[in-house]
Amino acid sequence: MTERVVFRPLYQQIKVLLIQALKAGQWAPGSIIPSEFELAAQYGVSQGTVRKAIDELVADNVLMRRQGKGTFVSSHAEPRAEFRFLRLVSDAGEAMTPENHILGVQRILAPDLLAQQLSLKPNDSVVEIQRVQFFAGQPINFEHIWLRGDQFKKLTADLLQSYQGPMYALFERQFAIVMVRAEEEIRAVAASADEALQLKIAVGTPLLSVYRRSFSYGEHAVEVRHSRFITHHFHYQHELN
């Protein structure tokens, strides 16, 4: 009848401490963190234990190692991260940088389902963004993006439209929100009147519908988005293992 004590490896505890430090903004995206030996000294464990904690965070894409230089906080502002959350490529296989057109930004009360998905209370607000993405000059993706109102207080259409680069990079700079992970649900749907209008296609054209829920450090749900892609000359990439 003894109490069952859950066994927690030391390196897991170190990992949690590192995530908390990241969450608290102790190290900004793109910046270097202390060396393995420094962290080991701070936490009172061996370098190998810190190493294992960092190994997992690197596997999760939270940190990046550069041999001879140090360990860095992953950032969506880095060139190599540009297509990390953008899996649409041309049928020739090349990833392309889209042009973004913001259609509108507004603050609304979160509907029930959305509130639940973002862990919001009833009557909490969300920011709704509508935009169209152009690839090679063609409107390819029409999407709605919903963000926690409390964490994006000063987000405006002007800010979004003026920013060059991935939206997630803007979120890092202006709102200290770092996207770490996302879950997607993918379907084929027929274009509605609104979708057809925005994408300049016929009503009923098959579209790739992607619902995404994105998380920041510590599995904190921050964003929901609904994208609809024309996949006539582009496709979504996916890897199974």
Partner whose footprint covers residue 218, from DNA, a second copy, none (CB < 5 to 8 Å by kind):
none
13 binds a second copy (CB under 8 A): no
Among 16, 20, 31, 37, binds DNA (CB under 7 A): 37
Q: How far lies 59's CA from each of 63, 73, 76, 96, 123, in Å?
A: 8, 13, 16, 26, 37
Output b/e per residue, 153-181; b: 16+ Cβ within 10 A: eebeeeebeebeebbbbbbbbebebbbbe
Residues composing the chain: 241
Q: Using the structure block, give the residue that is written with the tokens 């360990």.
A: 71
Among 1, 2, 3, 7, binds DNA (CB under 7 A): 7
CB of 107 to a second copy, least distance (A): 27
Amino acid at 5: V
Among 21, 27, 28, 70, binds DNA (CB under 7 A): 70
Among 2, 59, 69, 113, binds DNA (CB under 7 A): 69
Q: Is the Cβ of residue 52 or residue 235 nearer to DNA in the bound state?
A: 52
> Are 63 and 22 spatial neighbours (Cβ–Cβ below 8 Å)?
no
Amino acid at 231: T
45 binds DNA (CB under 7 A): yes
Please name which of 72, 79, 17, 75 lies closest in space to residue 49, comparing C-alpha atoms. 17
Among 187, 194, 200, 203, binds a second copy (CB under 8 A): 187
Q: Which residues in 82-101 contact a second copy (CB under 8 A)?
A: 84-85, 87
Q: Which residues bind DNA (CB under 7 A)?
A: 7, 9-12, 33, 35-38, 45-49, 51-52, 65-71
Q: Which residues bind a second copy (CB under 8 A)?
A: 59-61, 84-85, 87, 180-190, 204-210, 212, 229, 231, 235-241
